[in-house]
């Protein structure tokens, strides 16, 4: 939510903001003015529209009138949530904080309200803020060369000649190498070879970018968690890599790591959802490896399925239920106590957001789908 932000308040006081919120308090009228009314569905207190922040094919964004009688927005398929200014920012592709003055100007146009500029005293000096994580666009550009040099179809990696043959061998032995190549997975070399790869990134992107990426250690002389060498790109609904999850091949801990400040915030595989047939069932599994495993098992039976991976049962978000709206859904979690306990919560969220039918689906043998794939290979 951007309303509480002080950005832009030097030119317009709180009275202007409250006036605009009052003038733009009718959810249906606001959506009509923003061009979001096509295909909209009426709901209690407002309207359900196609989300302006991500490319959904069916309405998933709820625009209603809240208890304070102003517009509230919440998308069930992405993180968009807040007030009318958040909705306008999403439509105009603006940053709700950095571009708040422009969001306010656009709101005034929609409400046909003239804002007056008011001079304010300069803000007192403050300590410079530490830079935050990289924007998604910059992170995607940074990791593109890393995924290229570490691609799994590189003969040097595959032939085990000194770089990362054990990574490709691990995937091959588990029946996942073909799928992993298709998905653009990669490998880091052994720790003693990683310095050259990191220097390549430093030379091309600079220390500040590498530090903010969360990929390197504090001294920028090695990758963080160098033993985690299987590289798994997690993509947003538009297909952009927004984080790199890495996995160890041994039994050491932690088994999975992500860059600092960049945890998975979408299910793995969500970028493929828009391209599959609406009749294709969706299966929610635990992690990216189980996505590849269950899809391989179903492919052998010539049965289509789209798997979406969540980062453990505790990583589930209720809003993700909308990803399976109007589809058959399987809650295909691990065959353990945690999976059994999560089925009721996840199943309820799926049903409430329009998935039907919803069924529990567990591997016939082993703990998870990757174990089952190895057993039946």
CATH of the domain at 282: 3.40.1360.10
> pLDDT averaged over consecutive 10-residue blocks of the chain (377 residues)?
40 72 91 87 87 78 88 85 90 79 86 67 54 86 93 69 78 94 94 91 94 92 94 95 95 92 91 92 96 95 94 84 93 86 88 91 87 86
Rounded to two decimals, what is the model's pTM? 0.66
Q: What is the pLDDT of residue 172?
A: 93
Q: Are residues 292 and 334 in the same domain?
A: yes
Q: What is the pLDDT of residue 256?
A: 94
Q: What is the pLDDT of residue 205?
A: 95
Residue 212 lies in a domain: yes
Question: Which pLDDT tens digit goes with each residue over 356-372?
Answer: 999 998 888 888 899 99
Q: Are residues 372 and 322 in the same domain?
A: yes
Q: Are residues 172 and 284 in the same domain?
A: no
What domain range includes position 153? 136-257
Cα 9 from Cα 1, distance rounded (Å): 15
Task: Output the CA torsion 150→153→159→162 (10° steps).
Answer: -10
Residue 1 lies in a domain: no
Q: What is the CATH number of the domain that holds 82?
A: 3.90.580.10
Nearest to 307 by CA among 325, 289, 322: 289
Nearest to 236 by CA among 91, 97, 55, 89: 55
Q: What is the pLDDT of residue 286?
A: 94
Nearest to 86 by CA among 113, 63, 109, 68: 63
Q: Are residues 252 and 277 in the same domain?
A: no
Question: Which pLDDT tens digit goes with each residue over 130-156?
Answer: 567 889 999 999 999 999 999 998 766
Q: What is the pLDDT of residue 310?
A: 94
Residue 263 lies in a domain: no
Q: Are residues 145 and 217 in the same domain?
A: yes
Residue 171 lies in a domain: yes
> Hey, CA dihedral for 50, 56, 58, 61, is it positive or negative?
negative
Residue 174 lies in a domain: yes
Residue 125 lies in a domain: no
Q: Are residues 253 and 274 in the same domain?
A: no
What total of structural domains would you count in the chain? 3
Residue 3 lies in a domain: no
Q: What is the CATH number of the domain that holds 141?
A: 3.90.980.10
Residue 365 lies in a domain: yes
Q: How many CA atoms lie within 13 A of 107 on its CB side?
A: 30
């Amino acid at each position: 939510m951007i309303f509480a932000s002080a950005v832009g308040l030097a030119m317009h006081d709180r009275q202007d903001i409250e006036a605009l919120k009052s003038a733009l308090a009718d959810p249906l009228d606001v959506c009509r003015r923003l061009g979001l009314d096509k295909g909209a569905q009426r709901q209690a207190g407002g309207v359900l529209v196609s989300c302006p922040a991500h490319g959904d094919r069916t309405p998933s964004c709820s625009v209603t009138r809240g208890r304070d009688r102003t517009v509230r927005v919440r998308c069930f398929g992405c993180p968009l949530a807040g007030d009318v200014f958040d909705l306008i920012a999403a439509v105009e592709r603006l940053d709700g904080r950095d571009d708040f003055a422009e969001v306010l100007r656009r709101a005034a146009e929609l409400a046909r309200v003239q804002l007056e500029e008011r001079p304010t005293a300069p803000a007192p000096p403050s300590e410079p803020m530490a830079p935050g994580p990289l924007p998604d666009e910059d992170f995607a550009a940074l990791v593109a060369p890393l995924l290229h040099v570490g691609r799994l179809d590189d003969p040097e990696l595959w032939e085990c000649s000194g770089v990362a043959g054990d990574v490709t061998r691990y995937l091959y032995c588990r029946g996942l190498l073909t799928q992993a190549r298709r998905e653009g997975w990669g490998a880091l070399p052994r720790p003693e070879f990683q310095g050259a790869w990191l220097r390549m990134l430093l030379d091309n992107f600079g220390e500040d970018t590498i530090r903010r990426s969360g990929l390197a250690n504090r001294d920028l002389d090695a990758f963080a968690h160098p033993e985690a060498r299987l590289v798994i790109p997690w993509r947003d609904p538009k297909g952009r890599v927004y984080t790199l999850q890495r996995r160890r091949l041994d039994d050491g801990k932690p088994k999975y790591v992500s860059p600092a400040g960049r945890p998975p915030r979408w299910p793995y595989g969500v970028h493929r959802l828009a391209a599959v047939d609406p009749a294709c069932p969706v299966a929610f599994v635990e992690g990216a490896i189980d996505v590849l495993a269950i899809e391989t098992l179903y492919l052998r039976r010539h049965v289509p399925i789209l798997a979406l991976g969540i980062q453990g049962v505790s990583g589930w978000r209720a809003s993700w239920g909308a990803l399976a709206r109007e589809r058959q859904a399987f809650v295909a979690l691990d065959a353990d106590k945690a999976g059994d306990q999560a089925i009721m919560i996840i199943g309820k969220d799926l049903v409430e957001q329009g998935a039907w039918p919803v069924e529990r689906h567990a591997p016939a043998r082993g703990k998870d789908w990757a174990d089952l794939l190895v057993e039946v290979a």
